[in-house]
Structure 1
Amino acid sequence: MSSDTGTMAVTDADFARQVAAGVVLVDVWAAWCVPCLTLAPVMERLAGAYRDRVRVLTLEADSNVETVVRYDVRALPTVLVFRDGALVARQSGAQAFGTYAALLDRVLDPGFESAPGPVAEAGTHPVPANARDAAWAEAQALVASDRPAVLFKHSATCSISIAVKREYDAFTAEHPDVPTRVITVQNERPLSNALEELLRVRHESPQAIVVQRGEVLWHASHRRVTAAALTDVITSAGAGAISGAGSDTGSGTTPGAISG
């Protein structure tokens, strides 16, 4: 998804060098993502409209997982905006030309200052303290399960996550007695963050984490989450073969209290 007229493809290998200087917009996309394909003409138009002021790059997500994970890209398409190597803005979903133009105009403003800390999506708001408290309480209850329990972090807008959730669903259908909980990250960000902090497992989605009595028995993400892998972990845990936190190797319940 690059052309001779404006946009240029970038990879994990040269990503840092390509975004190191000036203002750079990166369109993170995938061939299976229909909204990504409809966004291609918008990127071309941006490249022309902001020629000599902004470089417009494209990054194919499936072949460049390192960059996708580093910048916590959870949905496609996602546009990342860098200024002199620092990520200063991001926008998920296919938007109109004017949305990206307004974002670039703001970043190009000489008085622009990026807020400290993680860069939020445009239009997001701070999480209320009571929501954080409730999420922390639920996270503590989930990880304290006396039986091995499966926590599945799911992105409802990511095709990879939707595909992997079928593996999770197959597992739960075969093992209805196993406690499980789906965390849809778009709707339950405070809970997802609380689990990350409590378990010290870096957030990814899709992601499966098996917990028991406050310990992480196993965790994996993306295509490494399979019905067979979950079955093996739960079987081993039941036999007492798992001890301590497992590394990333290598689904339907509804949100709410842990089921099973």
Structure 2
Amino acid sequence: MNWTSLVEESQLENIREESQQHPVLIFKHSTRCSISSASLARLERNWKESDVAGTVPYYLDLIANRTVSAKVAATFDIPHQSPQILLISRGECIYDASHFDINFAEIQQQLSGIEA
């Protein structure tokens, strides 16, 4: 996976704009949590660029970037969880999952429902 680091609140407006062209995935990771590490490893192991229709993945270390994490929750009107993925399309969060509900097959299914 080729992660883009999410480290500044100002990136969220860019993500909204970027999601007008193609889906964006945000992975909120707690470096202190074994469940978060397991979810991240499983996602990275199963991620196939050819199966995600140009989706751009962003990685947010929420321990190092707590204010950015809070802004993600507020911007996309999604309660904070950790670990958590958000799938952004056309400026809105269309899917989120946390903990062991994070899985590549479900992400693929959600992506297949996005109209080009």
TM-score, L = length of structure 1: 0.38
Q: Does 1:156 align with 2:39?
A: no
Deviation at residue 171 of structure 1 after TM alignment? 4.1
Q: Which has the larger radius of gyration?
A: 1
Q: Is the 8 A contact 1:196 1:202 kept in 2?
A: yes
Higher RCO (C-alpha 8 Å, min separation 6): 2
Structure 2 residue runs of 5 or longer lacking an equivalent are 1-6
Deviation at residue 216 of structure 1 after TM alignment? 1.0
Q: Does 1:143 align with 2:35?
A: no
TM-score, L = length of structure 2: 0.81
Deviation at residue 141 of structure 1 after TM alignment? 1.2
Q: Partner residue of 2:107? A: 230
Q: Is the 8 A contact 1:148 1:210 kept in 2?
A: yes
2-side partners of 1:150 and 1:222: how far apart?
15
Equivalent residue pairs, number: 105
Q: CA distance change for structure 1 residues 151 and 219 in 2, over 3 Å: closer, same or farther?
A: same
SS in 1 for 2:31: coil
* Root-mean-square deviation over aligned CA pairs: 1.9
Question: Percent identity, aligned pairs only?
Answer: 24
**1:169-188 correspondence runs (5 A):** 169-172=44-47, 174-175=48-49, 177-188=54-65
Aligned AA (1:201) = I
Aligned AA (2:33) = C
Deviation at residue 165 of structure 1 after TM alignment? 0.5
Deviation at residue 215 of structure 1 after TM alignment? 0.8
**1:238-249 correspondence runs (5 A):** 240=115
2-side partners of 1:156 and 1:180: how far apart?
18
Deviation at residue 189 of structure 1 after TM alignment? 1.3
Deviation by residue 1:38-90 (Cα, 9 ceiling, x = unmatched): xxxxxxxxxxxxxxxxxxxxxxxxxxxxxxxxxxxxxxxxxxxxxxxxxxxxx
Q: Does 1:193 align with 2:65?
A: no
Aligned AA (1:157) = R
**1:60-209 correspondence runs (5 A):** 135-144=8-17, 145=19, 146-172=21-47, 174-175=48-49, 177-209=54-86
Moved over 6 A (4+): none
Q: Is the 8 A contact 1:135 1:194 kept in 2?
A: no
Deviation at residue 136 of structure 1 after TM alignment? 2.7
